[in-house]
Structure 1
Amino acid sequence: MAGQVARLGTGIGWRPEIADAVEEMPGIDWVEVVAENVCPGHLPDSLTRLRERGVTVVPHGVSLGLGDADRPDGGRLAALAERAEALGAPLVTEHIAFVRAGGALTASPRLEAGHLLPVPRTRDALAVLCENVRIAQESLPVPLAVENIAALISWPGDEMTEGQFLYELADRTGVRLLIDVANLHTNHVNRGEDPAKALAELPLEALAYVHVAGGFERDGVWHDSHAHPVPRPVLDILTDLASRVRPPGVLLERDEDFPGPGELERELADIGEAVRAGAGLRGTASAAPDGGALPGAPEDGGAASPEPPPTEPARLRLGLAQAALLSALVAGTPAPEGFDRARLAVQARALAAKRASVVAKVAPELPEILGSAYRPAFLAYTHARPMRGGYRRDALDFAEHLLLGTGPGDGRTERALRRWWLDRSGPAPRRRSRLARVGRALIRR
């Protein structure tokens, strides 16, 4: 970890839908991009222009799975490193979450969540996470910061609070922290966790930057949608944080239902006011008013308080627990003991809804072909049908499911869907492959 973190300033999440507005927005010092959504050799023109103007661009990964029981995939780490170098980024960020489970470690089917799920706050999970973070740090050309996530569910048997867990992680590895104050609010509503207590326990001297986002509440559950205005409770948590430490950077996230530039600028103004209000409350006795090195962290980029690697039994115990939970969420198996079944059902529906939304983005022809029938048909398809290999594979599997089942409806829709599936199933396969058999079946229909 670098001794001093980059001073970023005011930022906004760059998305293609608001690229033009972001370029013209006053007061933007930096932007964050979803790492998996950019190609290093073909950066969007908007990002290139922003970089030429001196705007910092930070890649934000969403699929590495640092909280997985398995060690990080080398290919994913190489891709993240390539994006950091292509963007000239001062750091890269990822999540403290698990996104897949099963496989060789547990001798069970490989499962993909398609979204971020919380890790248990146990010694086993902490040991595995620390080693995974160290592996990532060694593979990346710039410092790594990791983000706390929003959660709908709680693990039974937690051994630490979130603040204690993150403190241990930062102290053992020297990793920087990306604190999402919207996620602290989410966990307050959904899990009864006090944001002020979490902030008091966090090593804020390790702060890299802050996320701010909106959401909505339904039936007592807060959904971190990134598609709604930032609510007052989230701004209040930001003020509390800013009263304890000067944030190196603060960024507004918005992923869907983008408002006009004027509303985005008003939200940024509200965020700036919340930070200034916190600064006015910050006393001279603040532990680390401007960020800086972790206590005991070396200034040469090494990790603090090295720990021995976790034992393989710890990975196996964590892997079995994560596989059981993810199977209940995406494959319809019984809920593991100790979990709130009603809340697991909410999480399962949220994962299915996320799959439907992302598939609609990576394969926009499907909602065009199916119209209003797309979403209910896709949600029905997800029941006990886990993702097999990413969202593009999921789109093909969904279309195949419709075509080989009862059909998508009228003849015109079915013909359009059949053409779409055949066009995107790759080059002519070998005659004995499953794809060839399915293709011949579809052509005969």
Structure 2
Amino acid sequence: MPLPPTPSPAHRRARAAPSPVPRPSRRHIAPLDGLRGAAVLGVLFFHAGHFDGGFLGVDLFFVLSGFLITGLLLTEARARDGRIDLLAFWGRRARRLLPALAVVLAGTLLLVWALGPPNLLRYALDDGPWVAANLANWHFVADRVGYWDSAGTRVFSHLWSIAVEEQFYVVWPLVLCLSARGRGGGRRVAAVAAAGAAASLVLMVVLTTPADTTRVYEGTDTRAFSLLLGALAATEPAARLVSRLGERAAGRWSLALAAGIGAYWITADGQNSPSLFRGGLFLHALAAALLIACLARAPRTPAGRFLAAAPLRRLGTVSYSLYLWHWPVYLLLSEERLGLEGAPRTAVLLAVSVALAVLSKVLVEDPVRFRARWAKGRTGAVALVAAFAALAALWTAVPQPRTGEGSVDVTRLGPGGG
């Protein structure tokens, strides 16, 4: 067997040199699309009544959002001497999120009006304006809408998590503008993210009551740690720590973390797992942040290749619209209406939800994000105001059902929320 060629001195020096610290960038990390796909699959099966721990997919979404958004903002701050164009950032977020949300709000209201029972319409009319204002989570908390047992009558109950993310997108860039400037900005951002995550955990532990965990589960302050741990993973100090791992070590950690997260999903059981609200959700988010950091460091390891497989990745690319549409579909296509139950009904629900998500991406999301020139600048702002004015007009045009009409058997609708 021939011996391998002897490396040159220059090659030996290059191989011995430490690898550069990977900085958050705009490079596409395919396994993270697969993580989105896994997260939305967990939620879909949770709401269909087949997977008690699938609600943790929302937590995974939060961590991913914190990581990706912070990476983009820090990249911009480095390129512009610590400055961030907030209006441009908020404009991009609005084009990404609000068109699909507006279509789901209008489409769902019309479908519920035409097909749903009166109490479903009554709650849709009550909840919709708060969803449009991205305050749905606080609306549900103030109305004491029990997350775990009342969502079968609330067609927009799953959108509490969208409100949490939108509130984060408003506040966190402002924090970065103040902390990322000048020398040591990356360290300051990391310190702020870590301190904020710790404070959020303390609030969750202090405010948790066994009778109803909705306040801590849906409160922006008590869920911020998931977004902030993702943000921490995107900072340069965190990237420097992860860079010390070789690719093989990062691959082993990715597998171990993914297995641990999967095991936690299998054993978790919502409000029947009190440890979730006394550190369990925090540890889950921390594991997810570490997994994301390892995948960003070494995306071509076995765990990365599995998550980058085409089915999961493609599901991840439509995960936002799929999340928006699935719960209204689940409530409207009841067992009675379909004449199906169990796995056959779930197959129909998944097929309809995916079809609507693909249509939303192709006809609404992508055109507004990438091709519609009118969607930017002042014309975009005017179009946004006009769209939500039209939503408000629709809300006033739909008549309130008479009190006492109709009912929904929530026990036949599967777990609620999301």
Q: Same fold (TM over 0.5)?
A: no
Higher helix share: 2
Q: Higher RCO, 1 or 2 (CA under 8 Å, sep at least 6)?
A: 2
TM-score under structure 1 length normalisation: 0.25
- Structure 2-normalised TM-score? 0.26
